[in-house]
């Protein structure tokens, strides 16, 4: 056997092994590829609802926007449990289920009781649009880390033993956000990352004037700070706020917020490049950012807020860039290409941009921004779940808990599944994909669909 054939002989099983691992897991809120896609290629369900093709379901103690996280035989999820409905007070929970049976393996009260300053005495554990359990957990198979909007960051072993905990607000000062902070943590190359891109002034009685936006890097073994790096911005007021998650790409960390997109060195936090702004002269002061960046097809996509355009930025930049410098394309002449809340999907060589304000899902070529097809989304409820995909199918969920299944090839709606309760609203979790199963979290129930 010649050398090339020998190498392929030994290398092919390694490729297959990693492919199988990636297809079976959903270790963070945007999945194993950090772009909303799964490598699953066979048997993902099309026809299902809250009773049909349900492998198991579990009644949850409270609502949350957190996406189910799947690794090995475990399903991890964040939740709240309301103990006093009049005030919205309750517990912050970390839950683990058996992936095959849906049995609750462990439940931990992960909250420290830390309470930042409140607006009009209102408890932000239960906000009308969000709650402290909105960030998704993250795991590497050895540990699972839960973050909550009050600043609690807690690490457990996969069998539920608490390894360490800390509170980010207690350590670095109360957050300066108008809404409940909900960025999800990122595990990458044996380090744990969390961006805190916030206002530089007291906000509704919380935080302090002169507060910095910063990126935090910690040891996942003990939670100790490895480095903390200020991330400056010229944005004003709410436009400084970002709820996005740091996205790894090769040996960089990408983060959007404060009217700019930046790339950072994982070992130091040093800024490698920045592009912006989508907010010329920073004249818009109320442009908080929700979507995270997504990489695909040689570009990185960033979504400006409200009904503003989407921008595709060149990869491999260094230094500061603005305007046409570093810009591959934007959607200023294509109004349907916009996203206020959902993070776009990259799958099968294309971007899929869900516009929650235009109620459309569009397949877009990464290098040109050309729309390959566009699908109008049904119903009266907003579609704000970030789309996920595998096996030629795209999944998303609206505020009422309806899950839509769309062909990635032609945009045809294949199925609309009623998963939420009749009067559910503000259902926000994304659909997770692992193997040939879907994990769907409504306000009240966690489903495993097969």
DSSP 272-329: EEEE--SSGGG--S---B-PPPEEETTEEEEE-STTPPEEEEESS--EEE-TTTTEEE
Q: How many residues does the chain have?
A: 450
Whether 3 shows a pLDDT value over 70: the answer reads no
pLDDT value, residue 21: 53
Say how far apart CA 262 and CA 230 lie, in whole Å.
Answer: 12
Q: What is the pLDDT of residue 115?
A: 73
- Write down the pLDDT at residue 22: 61
Assess contact for 248 and 295: CB atoms under 8 A.
no
Mean pLDDT for the chain overall: 92
Using the CB atoms, write b or e for 124-155: b if 16+ within 10 Å: bbbbeebbbbbbbbbbbeebbbbbbbbbbbbb
At residue 107, the pLDDT reads: 98
Q: Check residue 128 and give its pLDDT.
A: 55
Contact 326, 316 (CB under 8 A): no
Asked whether 407 and 392 are in contact (CB, 8 A), the reply is yes
Q: Which sign does the torsion angle of CA 10, 16, 21, 22 carry?
A: positive
CA distances from residue 1 to 4, 249, 290 in whole angstroms, order as listed: 8, 37, 54
Please state the pTM of the whole predicted model. Answer: 0.93
Task: Kindly provide the residue ranges of all beta strands, DSSP E only, lying in 40-103, ordered along the sequence.
Answer: 54-59, 69-71, 74-84, 89-98
Strand partners, 217: 193, 227
Residue 28 reports pLDDT greater than 60: yes
208 to each of 112, 174, 238, how far by Cα in Å?
A: 22, 7, 14
Neighbours of 43 (CB within 10 A): 11
């Amino acid at each position: 056997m010649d050398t090339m054939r020998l190498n392929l002989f030994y290398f092919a099983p390694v490729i297959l092994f990693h492919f199988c691992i990636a297809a079976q897991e959903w270790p963070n809120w945007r999945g194993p590829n950090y772009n909303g896609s799964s490598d699953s290629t066979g048997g993902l369900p099309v026809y299902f609802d809250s009773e049909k093709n349900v492998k198991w379901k579990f009644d949850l103690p409270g609502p949350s926007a957190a996406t189910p996280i799947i690794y090995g035989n475990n399903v991890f999820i964040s939740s709240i449990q309301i103990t006093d409905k009049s005030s919205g007070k309750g517990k912050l929970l970390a839950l683990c289920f058996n992936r095959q049976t849906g049995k609750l393996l462990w439940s931990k009260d992960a909250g420290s009781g830390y309470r930042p300053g409140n607006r009009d005495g209102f408890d932000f554990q239960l906000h009308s649009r969000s709650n402290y359990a909105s960030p998704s957990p993250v795991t590497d198979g050895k540990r699972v880390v839960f973050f909550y909007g009050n600043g609690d960051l807690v690490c457990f072993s996969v069998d539920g033993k608490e390894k360490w905990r800390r509170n980010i607000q207690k350590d670095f000062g109360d957050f300066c956000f108008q809404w409940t902070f909900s960025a999800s943590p990122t595990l990458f190359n044996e380090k744990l990352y969390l961006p805190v891109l916030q206002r530089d002034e007291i906000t509704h009685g919380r935080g302090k004037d002169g507060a910095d936006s910063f990126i935090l890097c910690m040891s996942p073994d003990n939670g100790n700070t490895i480095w903390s790096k200020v991330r400056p911005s010229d944005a004003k007021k709410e436009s400084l706020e970002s709820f996005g998650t740091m996205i790894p790409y090769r040996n960089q960390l990408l983060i959007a917020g404060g009217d700019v997109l930046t790339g950072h060195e994982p070992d130091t936090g040093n800024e490698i490049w920045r592009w912006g702004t989508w907010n010329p002269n920073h004249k818009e002061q109320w442009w908080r950012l929700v979507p995270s960046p997504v990489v695909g097809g040689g570009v990185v996509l960033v979504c400006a807020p409200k009904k503003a355009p989407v921008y595709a930025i060149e990869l491999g930049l260094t230094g500061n860039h603005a305007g046409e410098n570093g810009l591959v394309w934007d959607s200023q002449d294509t109004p349907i290409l916009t996203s206020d809340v959902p993070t776009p999907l990259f799958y099968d060589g294309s971007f899929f941009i869900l516009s929650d304000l235009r109620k459309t899902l569009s397949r877009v070529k990464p290098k040109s921004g050309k729309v390959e097809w566009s699908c109008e989304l049904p119903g009266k409820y907003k579609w704000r779940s970030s789309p996920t995909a595998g096996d030629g199918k795209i999944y998303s969920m609206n505020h009422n808990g309806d899950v839509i299944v769309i062909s990635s090839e032609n945009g045809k709606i294949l199925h609309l599944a009623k998963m939420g309760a009749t009067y559910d609203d503000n259902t926000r979790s994304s659909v997770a994909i692992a193997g040939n199963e879907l994990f769907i979290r409504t306000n009240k129930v966690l489903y495993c669909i097969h």
